[in-house]
Amino acid sequence: MFPLAEERHRDRNRRQRADGEQRPAECAPCIRAKQSGEKEAGAGARYAAGSGDDGDFGDSHVVCLHGHFLSTIPGMRARTKSLNPAGKKHKFGKAWMHEHVSDHWVHEAQRLGYRSRAAFKLIELAARDKLLRPGMSVVDLGAAPGSWCQVLRGQVGPRGRIVALDLLPLEPIAGVAFVQGDFREKATLEALEAALAGHKVDLVLSDLAPNISGIESADQARSVYLGELALEFSFAWLQPGGDLVVKAFQGEGFAELQGAFRARFDRVHARKPKASRDRSREVFLVGKGFNPA
């Protein structure tokens, strides 16, 4: 398991113990599957996914009340996968589950076949700042479970080029090249650069979000650091006039990050899409019109 994912498991367990949080009972389909010894393929990798302060698992994954991950790819029938193939107790808190099942964007994601409610953030940003057009090439950093890739796929069309990266596995999406690894590591950056094969891109997106430790200063520093890495990457790989979107938490270091955007982009906006939860400190910095040094 990757260090961040491992940390994520530890943090969640620690938080649940500290809160004395109730865990939901196993649902009927889970119990039936367990009794019949039935295996649900491919669910293990998904279990570790999800990060950020915008709902933890909720932001990254569409999950039903029973804890089944709903994964759909446009053009394919919706299907359910258990998050809990080993039949262990569910790890979602009651409060989280309640918020999740009553969330408008979760329902919309399920209805439209997006892997995550995060899709609607990109849809709103793209419409407002005219970010996407057919045939463009895009890098999607922090791509799992893949809802931004789904949106990109639909909007850049068959001539477009999408290279996605995440610590976690990404269930394949036709036309999306995927690099798995930690973006903070040199080897991962090299793998991403190899996937680009020397071709500069029109747009860099970063929805990278650190796992929330609960220690605000540490989480803030990690978020800004991931933003700085995405910015640095865009300096090397954006076409002149290209655009950049970076998610970061508001707080210490955010103003400096915004200043660094202003130094190299014609226009810079700080956006808070409707699908971003009010309680979340996340903001998307949008840089339009890259100026190479």
Question: Which spans of this chain sit near ligand SAM (rule: CB under 6 A)?
Answer: 4, 49, 51-52, 59-60, 115-116, 118-119, 142-148, 166-168, 182-184, 207-210
Q: Which is nearer to ligand SAM, 4 or 27 (CB)?
A: 4
For residues 89 and 166, what is the distance between their CA atoms, to the nearest angstrom? 27
At closest approach, how far in Å is the CB of 28 from ligand SAM? 28
- Transcribe 30-71 into DSSP letters: HHHHHHTT---TT-HHHHT---STTTTHHHH--B-TTSEEEE
Task: Report H helices in the chain.
Answer: 3-19, 28-35, 44-47, 57-60, 94-101, 104-112, 119-129, 147-156, 186-196, 216-237, 254-264
Question: Which one of 186, 247, 274, 288 is the catalytic residue?
Answer: 247
Nearer to ligand SAM, 33 or 122 (CB): 122
Write b or e for each residue in 79-95: b if 16 or more Cβ atoms lie within 10 A of its Cβ, otherwise e.
ebbbbbbeeeebbbbee
39 in active site: no
Token pair belonging to 36: 């019949």
**Rounded to the nearest whole angstrom, what is the least distance from the CB of residue 205 to ligand SAM in the complex?**
8
30 or 283: CB nearest ligand SAM: 283
How far apart are CB 181 and ligand SAM at their closest, in Å?
7
Closest-by-Cβ residue to ligand SAM is 142
Residue 99 vs 289, nearer CB to ligand SAM: 99
**Is the CB of residue 245 less than 8 Å from the CB of residue 208?**
no
- The Cα 229–Cα 226 span in angstroms is 5
For ligand SAM, give the closer residue by CB, 30 or 142.
142
- Nearest approach, Cβ of 183 to ligand SAM (angstroms)? 4
**What's the min distance (Å) between Cβ of 122 and ligand SAM?**
7
| Number of neighbours of residue 105 by Cβ within 10 angstroms | 23
Active site residues per annotation: 247
